[in-house]
Chain A
Amino acid sequence: MELSLFPRDLFAELDRLQRQVQRAFEFSPSIRGFARGGFSALNIASTPQSVEIYGFAPGLEPKSIEVQLERGVLSIAGERSPALPDERERATVHMNERFAGRFHRVITLSDDLDPNEVRAAYREGVLHISIKRLESAQPRRISVN
């Protein structure tokens, strides 16, 4: 484990340790890897009409983000370039916690979604994907005569 002498780094180390422990003991990881702690972090929520996915992926070029929906499986991929200076420069890296490189996250969604009704927007580093449920799957009030 890398250790830094920067005073506040202790919290980052604890955070990292906690994540490692969590990974090691997670009861049943998803078949595509660990459910938590990856880049980008994901929050998923649903409404009666749609499924809303929030990907916390700061520092990307909106055009470079690849979002694919195929047979109820949503994949989000992209690449984030490192902020660190290259080795020839006279600079010291005190803390290096931010993710850099290629990432790819895959989520299995429910099968009542309409692949033609997907909206994706990237604002303030959050990728918000909204997928409508199929008309036929939406709850309907049935009038009684």
Chain B
Amino acid sequence: MNEQSAVSRGTQTALEEPALLPPVDVIEDDSGITLYADLPGVPKDKLTVQADGETLIIDGEMALEIPKDLEATHVEVNLPRYRRVFSLSKELDPNKLSAELKHGVLKLRIQKAERVKPRRIEVTG
């Protein structure tokens, strides 16, 4: 129950503010999943990665150095926030998650639970 309320709370705050959808690469191998997300402008302390139950939420806020009296003349990035939500499947272990942020790219690694790692099954006969 606790877990569920945490998820719904997270989703609520997530829905309040509009955000950009960061592009991602998701690669799966035998031992887990690696996710790369482009989050330019987000420092480590403004990034939240939440894995609650079956949902993974990536939420980051930009902190750009902006001089005063600035007047925008051409804007392609129009929101200071990124957010993306993924559903995790059961075989992934949210406790075995590592995250690394470098030059605005988040690299997430989620391990598969031991028991579901693929085994080669010998075919006989």
Interface residue ranges, A against B (CB under 8 Å): 6-8, 11-12, 15, 36-37, 40-48, 50, 52, 54, 56-62, 83-85, 89-99, 107, 122-126, 128, 130
Instruction: Identify B105's interface contact among A59, A89, A91, A130, CB under 8 A.
Output: A59
Residue ranges of B at the interface with A (Cβ–Cβ < 8 Å): 21, 23-30, 33, 36, 38-43, 62-77, 84-87, 102-105
Cα A102 to Cα B30 in complex, Å, equals 31
The 8 closest A-B pairs by CB, nearest first: A125-B104, A58-B104, A125-B40, A97-B23, A44-B74, A59-B105, A95-B26, A58-B40
- Chain A hits for B42, CB < 8 A: 124
Which chain B residues lie closer than 8 Å to A15 at the CB level? 21
Contact A60–B103 (Cβ < 8 Å): yes
Q: B47: nearest residue on chain A (CB-CB)?
A: A124
A81 to chain B, nearest CB (A): 11
The answer to whether A94 and B76 touch across the interface, beta carbons within 8 angstroms, is no
Give which listed residue, B27, B65, B69, B103, contacts A94 with CB less than 8 A: B27
Q: Are A128 and B26 in contact (CB under 8 A)?
A: no
- B27 A93 Cβ-Cβ under 8 A: yes
Contact call B105/A58, Cβ cutoff below 8 A: yes
